[in-house]
Chains A and B, each alone.
Chain A
Amino acid sequence: MESSHLRQQIAAMRQSFFDEEILDGQFCQLERLENRGNPNFVEEVLTMYFRDSTTLLQTVEQEIETDTIDLAKVDMMLHKFKGSSASIGANKVRNNITKTRQLLEEGNLEGAKLAFRELRMEHDNLRAKLEPYFQQLRQVGPVETATRPKGSDHA
């Protein structure tokens, strides 16, 4: 009974990620790659993502706060970050990266700094939401993948 209630909670958490557009259909693609031989694949990928993203965001923040920003370096880092964010389905993070890059390209440094702060917030929000989700998943074992959320087909 308790397990069933927990599974419902987990399913509701998962659905909220799509309803709030924090995640998109690419996350479902990752879930489909899990199998008996690799039941924690999604969590492993997300753990790696956050390990890399934390370092990257610190580096970008240091760079954009200097007087002589290496724009090409920052753009390349953000480009890479956009790639890995898209690969895990981190929709809002990816959109904020695009916004930050656009403002940097336009030479709007103050705008870009603001956008970067929003990006950091979205990133931290994503991690804050996913950590308890995976924690609960580990308690009950993998939840069967729900039907693909509407309008989130990124395949």
Chain B
Amino acid sequence: MAAQGRHGGKKSNKMTALVVDDNTVNRMIHHRLLDNLGIENVAVVNGKEAVDIHCSGKTFDLILMDMDMPVMNGIEATRQLREMGIRSMIAGVSTRSMEREIREFIEAGLDDYQEKPLTMSKLISIIHKING
């Protein structure tokens, strides 16, 4: 999937991703995983910042969304992004294992869900879904 250029100019073929996680360690790891796959990525620390960055006009091929975050959690952020018409692949990434909690997250508009910790093989399986 071709990404829109950052400044709305020439389209780049490089995939782009947004990491949404309030935990520094997880942001570092997810950033490195994406970097190693050649995916340009930025990180924000909660769901509100994820919504705000989209409101500023930026879009991403992939959003890695944590569930539990302060200010705005991943469920609410996913819901709002979908209501805004954002059709990017949103993959929920969380340590939650209760079916009810995961179902609520998925029903908010996820395309995929992976239990943390996120590994290279899990990330590749998410990306394969983008590429169909």
Contacts and interface: CB of A to CB of B under 8 A. Distances in A.
A154 B29 contact: no
Contacts of A152: none
B32 interface: yes
A11 interface: no
Contacts, number: 60
B25 to A, nearest CB: 4
Interface residues of A, number: 25
Given A26-B117, A32-B120, A154-B117, A79 B95 contact: yes
Contact of A48 (B22, B24, B32, B117): B24
A80 B121 CA distance: 23
A100 to B, nearest CB: 15
Tell me what chain B mostly uses at the interface: helix, strand, loop, or mixed. Answer: helix
Contact of B25 (A38, A45, A79): A45
Interface residues of B, number: 20
Interface stretch (A83-91, A114-122, A131-139): A83-91
B102 to A, nearest CB: 14
Given A29-B119, A155-B119, A155-B121, A83 B24 contact: no
Interface in A121-148: none
Interface string A20-52: 000000100110110100100100110011001
A33 B68 contact: no
Contacts of A83: 23, 26, 94-95, 116-117
Nearest to A80: B23
A80 B68 contact: yes
Interface in B38-92: 68
A154 B119 contact: yes
24 contacts: A26-B117, A26-B119, A29-B117, A29-B119, A30-B29, A33-B120, A35-B36, A38-B32, A41-B32, A45-B28, A45-B29, A48-B24, A52-B23, A52-B25, A76-B68, A84-B23, A84-B26, A86-B116, A87-B29, A88-B25, A154-B117, A154-B119, A155-B121, A155-B122
